[in-house]
Amino acid sequence: MPVESGNQSTIKENCSTILLNTPEFHAELTNLLITEGNKESLETLSNLLLPITKLDATACKGPVLPVNDIRGIDSRSYVKNERYLRCKLASLHRVIDLYGWNCGTCSNHASIRVNNSADQFLIKPIGLAFHEITGSSLIKIDSNGSIIDAGSTTFGVNALSFSLYSFVYKHRPDINCIIHVQTPAATAVSAMKCGILSLSQESLICGKATTHSIDIDLTTNRLSLDANVEQSTAKILILPNYGILACGSTVEEAWHITFNLILACESQLRTVSIGLHNIILPPEDSAKQVTNTVNAGGGGVNTTDVKWAVGELEWSTLMIVLDRAVCSKFSLSR
């Protein structure tokens, strides 16, 4: 039997070699590679020859815009390190799109403070989808929503939404990046009186969360939060019925919190259906230990001499994922 099996294997290999060397196969392959609009067949071939590769990692189709599209002459008006921050924030939008968490296509927001400035911020144009954001397209605005640098597009910003983030930046100088999470799971949890329950590892990683009501000034048409936000030290701000703000001192930390927050909300939605009285929550001491361990950086398990800040290790890995998904082209990330 082993001899017959070996013979069959040899015959299959010889047949494959003959097929690959035929002029007909060569002509068909050449036609496949040069014919426009044949992306589906090309992806099938890619998956056959290299199963680990994917031509499309996001829902968007068509050419992928490079994240780092800033030429040297275009960055003369940027302040120190602004080009780096622009590329990092643009990469953050691509990551959110990669996971399919860009609910509303172009309405959600992620913003960053420019070099710890109290009055300069970067935010996406209101007319672009997340997979279209590049370093040069981001708009630089002040705390009042006035445009300082319009970027490379003709779109504007949602001044009303940014007034909310501006309020947080003003009263929380420790926060430099804000991601407004409005996935269905996060919005549903924001409407729960119980808040975010410590029922999963992801919720423990996120740490403390506080709830704040949104107020609107009809005279100035600006949004704000209640006065308790100034005393809060939490990086998760729950806005009842309006989603959750995931905040961080860096883009890496804000993304780290966002990732675990969304998983925590999805776990909570699946669990509460059995009734709150049937849910087992970990002891408070154990919960604090998990939070403190992870906040030490390196995922809480780093044993190397490299000192990672919160989210840095995970972000570095994620940039490799983006590069392989042909989404990033962001060499400045590493």
DSSP string, 194-224: T-S-S-SHHHHHH--EEE--EEEETTTTEEE
Rg (CA), the chain: 24
What letter would DSSP give residue 69? -
Kindly state the average pLDDT of the residues 240-267. Answer: 94
**How many Cβ atoms are within 10 Å of 291's Cβ, its own excluded?**
17
Higher pLDDT, 216 or 76: 216
pLDDT confidence band for 178 (50 / 70 / 90): very high
Least confident of 92-96, 116-120, 229-233, 328-332: 328-332
pLDDT confidence band for 41 (50 / 70 / 90): low
pLDDT at 3 over 50: no
Architecture of domain 72-333: 3-Layer(aba) Sandwich (3.40)
For 102, the 3-state DSSP assignment is coil
Separation of alpha carbons 304 and 301, rounded Å: 9
For 45, the 3-state DSSP assignment is helix
Least confident of 13-17, 106-110, 238-242: 13-17
Tens digits of per-residue pLDDT, 213-232? 999 888 888 888 988 888 88
Higher pLDDT, 174 or 31: 174
pLDDT at 242 over 50: yes
**How many Cβ atoms are within 10 Å of 52's Cβ, its own excluded?**
7
pLDDT confidence band for 187 (50 / 70 / 90): very high
User: Which residue, among 126, 57, 55, 137, has the nearest Cα to 90 in the 3D structure?
Assistant: 137
Higher pLDDT, 194 or 65: 194
Separation of alpha carbons 326 and 323, rounded Å: 5
User: Which residue, among 263, 332, 333, has the nearest Cα to 99 in the 3D structure?
Assistant: 263
Separation of alpha carbons 328 and 312, rounded Å: 17
Least confident of 29-33, 36-40, 214-218, 294-298: 36-40
How far is it between the farthest Cα atoms of the chain? 88
| Structure-token pair, residue 95 | 């990551």
For 190, the 3-state DSSP assignment is helix
Question: How does strand 222-225 pair with strand 139-141?
Answer: unpaired
141 Cβ neighbours under 8 A, 6+ residues apart? 120, 121, 123, 147, 148, 157, 162
pLDDT at 77 over 90: no
**How many Cβ atoms are within 10 Å of 295's Cβ, its own excluded?**
16
Kindly state the average pLDDT of the residues 138-145. Answer: 90
pLDDT at 5 over 70: no
pLDDT value at residue 250:
93
Tens digits of per-residue pLDDT, 51-72? 333 434 455 555 677 888 887 6
Least confident of 60-64, 150-154, 226-230, 285-289: 60-64
**Residues 323, 67: contact at Cβ < 8 Å?**
no
pLDDT at 259 over 80: yes
